[in-house]
Amino acid sequence: MTLRRQTTLRLRQTIYAILAVSGAALFGAAGTAQETQPRETPAPEAPAETVKAPPLAMLTVIDGAIGPATAKQVADAVEAAEDARADVLILKIDTPGGLVTSTREIISSILESQVPVAGYVAPAGGHAASAGTYIIYATAIAAMAPGTNIGAATPVTIGGGMPGLPSPEDAAPQKDSGEDGAEDEAPARSSQPSNEDAMAAKATNDAVAHIRSLAELHGRNADWAEKAVREGASLSAQQAVEEGVVEFVAADMGELLRLMHGREVATSMGSRVLDTEGARIVEIEPGAMTKLLAILSNPNVAFILMLIGIYGLIFEFSNPGTIGPGVIGAICLLLGLYALNQLPLDYAGLALILLGLALMITEAFTPTFGVVGLGGVVAFVLGGAMLIDSDQPEFQLSWSVIAGTAVVSVLTLAALLGYAWRAQTRPVATGSEELAGKEAEVVDWANGEGHVWVHSERWRARGPHRLAPGDKVRIEKLDGLTLVLSGAPAVHE
């Protein structure tokens, strides 16, 4: 290797070494600078402004008589409000009253609700009478629209009277002094309350205790509540506020939400402060089953369904194989019985209806020419009149419906009896009895036996010895498969 080449190689190696050391030094310096230099923490971002969702108020409307459908509607509304974590559930009430059992179910749903329940008597011109008064007293907060009223919560008997406790004057023995100063004890004996009065007083005392307990639960006027039960007292909206029956008067839902806001109310989960100002209102519509129950809980509908069901089954049993009347009858009967099960029944009336149905079915299978059937109709009508044990006209059977069903029953039985009578008097059209007395034509004959032609058929026959082909003879009877001919001439019909 020449000196020049060696020198060049060494110079190149030196340059490579210098570059390597310089690069390592620079990398180390940069790393040291990165480690020693304090890290700059990024400035925290400004928190995004949280938008609070508006409060949720759920609403359900109670309009009309209180019954099983209303109880289910309120129970479903309470469940929906709890699932949605609503801030309040509002019951908008306009009712003349209703069934005691359904009212108590509604009150239980309200008191057990985890969501505060508000009662609002509306619209203007509406009222919360009878059962509606109890429901308003059960709500955590109560309000009324202008032009509404509340009260008249006295229990009413089926006869239409308004029972109450005997007044002190009526309860005290009447004492009349005669000339000798003796007291007449006869009026005192006659002033003893009858069983009917005692039952009325018992029902009134129970109602008073119930509504007073509700009033004390929410700090409302318990004395006026008792007066509403005993005396049938009523109040206007403004008077109700002054008497401490409701908290305030609200013209519309917006004002109602504004006035409720910030009030502390009691729920099944404890006290709670209402947050309702500017709340979003969601109305809870009754479900399909509730609407169906509202229709079926009408006692007139239930009664008619049961009647259709019974006659459908009677027709099916009388004419097996038609299928259609039996299917429709079974469905109607089950729906009618389900509807009646939702209503307060008088079991004596139910027993009369069952007896009437049994008698009518007996008439259909073993005709007695109306005796048993008409007895069944009478029992059925009397049972229908006694069937529903309720003081509310909305839950009583209409006399027009009872009369109409009675007429339909009589006409149906008349049709069945007419059919049975015609069947009894109609000539026999089939079988051996039908051949008796008919005319036959001799086909061949020998020694009292041969064949005859009748009904386009050739029959074996026996009879008189002297017959010839073509003779017309009368059939006396059928013996097995052989016709017995009579010596008398044939009867021409």
Distance, CA of 384 to chain centre: 19
**Which of 230, 238, 212, 81 lies closest to 134, judged by CA?**
212
pLDDT at 49 over 80: no
| Averaged pLDDT, 54-80 | 93
| Averaged pLDDT, 259-271 | 91
Model pLDDT, residue 420:
61
Model pLDDT, residue 63:
92
Instruction: State how far the Cα of 492 lies from the Cα of 432, in Å rounded to an integer.
Output: 18
The answer to whether residues 91 and 74 touch, using CB atoms and an 8 Å cutoff, is yes
The token duo for 430 is 């089939």
Model pLDDT, residue 10:
56
pLDDT at 177 over 70: no
For 185, phi and psi rounded to 5 degrees? -90, -5
Instruction: State how far the Cα of 436 lies from the Cα of 485, in Å rounded to an integer.
Output: 9
| Averaged pLDDT, 480-490 | 74
pLDDT band for position 52 (50/70/90)? low
Higher pLDDT, 472 or 423: 472
* Residue ranges per structural domain of the chain: 56-159+201-288, 298-425, 432-486
Model pLDDT, residue 491:
47
Residue by residue, DSSP assigns 64-93 as S-B-HHHHHHHHHHHHHHHHTT-SEEEEEE
pLDDT band for position 24 (50/70/90)? very low
In this prediction the pTM is 0.65
The token duo for 326 is 């039996």
Model pLDDT, residue 400:
84
Lowest mean pLDDT among 190-199, 233-242, 431-440: 190-199
Model pLDDT, residue 174:
43
For 149, phi and psi rounded to 5 degrees? -145, 165
Which is the CATH superfamily of the domain at 56-159+201-288?
2-enoyl-CoA Hydratase; Chain A, domain 1 (3.90.226.10)
The answer to whether residues 328 and 312 touch, using CB atoms and an 8 Å cutoff, is yes
The CA–CA distances, whole Å, from 192 to 81, 157, 260, 286 equal 52, 20, 50, 49
Instruction: State how far the Cα of 274 lies from the Cα of 265, in Å rounded to an integer.
Output: 7
Model pLDDT, residue 471:
87
Q: Where are the beta strands (DSSP E) in 165-314?
A: 176-177, 183-184, 234-236, 248-249, 264-267, 270-273, 280-283
Model pLDDT, residue 239:
96
Model pLDDT, residue 252:
94
Q: Which residues are CB-neighbours of 436 under 8 A, at least 6 positions away?
A: 475, 476, 477, 478
Higher pLDDT, 392 or 133: 133
- Tell me: cis bond preceding 123? Omega within 30 of 0 counts: yes
For residue 272, the SS3 value is strand
Helix axes 68-83, 100-111, angle to 10 degrees: 10
Instruction: State how far the Cα of 143 lies from the Cα of 250, in Å rounded to an integer.
Output: 7
The token duo for 390 is 């309720």
pLDDT at 295 over 70: yes
| Averaged pLDDT, 300-329 | 81
For 404, phi and psi rounded to 5 degrees? -65, -45
Instruction: State how far the Cα of 59 lies from the Cα of 92, in Å rounded to an integer.
Output: 7
| Averaged pLDDT, 454-481 | 86
Max mean pLDDT among 152-166, 228-242, 367-381, 420-434 falls in 228-242
pLDDT tens per residue across span 338-357: 887 778 778 888 888 888 87
Lowest mean pLDDT among 55-59, 272-276, 279-283, 369-373: 369-373
Model pLDDT, residue 397:
80
pLDDT at 162 over 80: no
Instruction: State how far the Cα of 197 lies from the Cα of 162, in Å rounded to an integer.
Output: 11
pLDDT at 34 over 60: no
pLDDT at 138 over 90: yes
For residue 61, the SS3 value is strand
| Averaged pLDDT, 373-383 | 82
pLDDT at 249 over 80: yes
pLDDT at 25 over 50: no
Mean pLDDT of the chain: 78
Lowest mean pLDDT among 168-177, 301-310, 408-417, 478-487: 168-177
pLDDT at 179 over 90: no
Q: Where are the beta strands (DSSP E) in 268-314?
A: 270-273, 280-283
How many CB atoms sit inside 10 A of residue 34's CB?
9
pLDDT at 368 over 90: no
Model pLDDT, residue 365:
64
pLDDT at 181 over 70: no
Q: Which residues are CB-neighbours of 391 under 8 A, at least 6 positions away?
A: 155, 156, 157, 158, 160
Instruction: State how far the Cα of 144 lies from the Cα of 121, in Å rounded to an integer.
Output: 5
For residue 128, the SS3 value is strand
pLDDT at 283 over 90: yes
The CATH topology of domain 432-486 is OB fold (Dihydrolipoamide Acetyltransferase, E2P) (2.40.50)
Model pLDDT, residue 478:
83
Q: Give the rounded percent of residues in the chain with a pLDDT score beyond 70.
A: 73
| Averaged pLDDT, 139-150 | 96
**Which of 255, 246, 232 lies closest to 121, judged by CA?**
246
Q: Which residues are CB-neighbours of 314 under 8 A, at least 6 positions away?
A: 329, 360, 361, 364
Higher pLDDT, 7 or 68: 68
| Averaged pLDDT, 147-171 | 58
pLDDT at 424 over 70: no
pLDDT tens per residue across span 105-119: 999 999 999 999 999
The CA–CA distances, whole Å, from 72 to 83, 104, 297 equal 16, 12, 12
Pairing of strands 457-462, 449-454: antiparallel
| Averaged pLDDT, 258-282 | 92
| Averaged pLDDT, 189-210 | 74
Max mean pLDDT among 18-22, 201-205, 254-258, 420-424 falls in 254-258
Max mean pLDDT among 145-159, 188-202, 209-223, 310-324 falls in 209-223
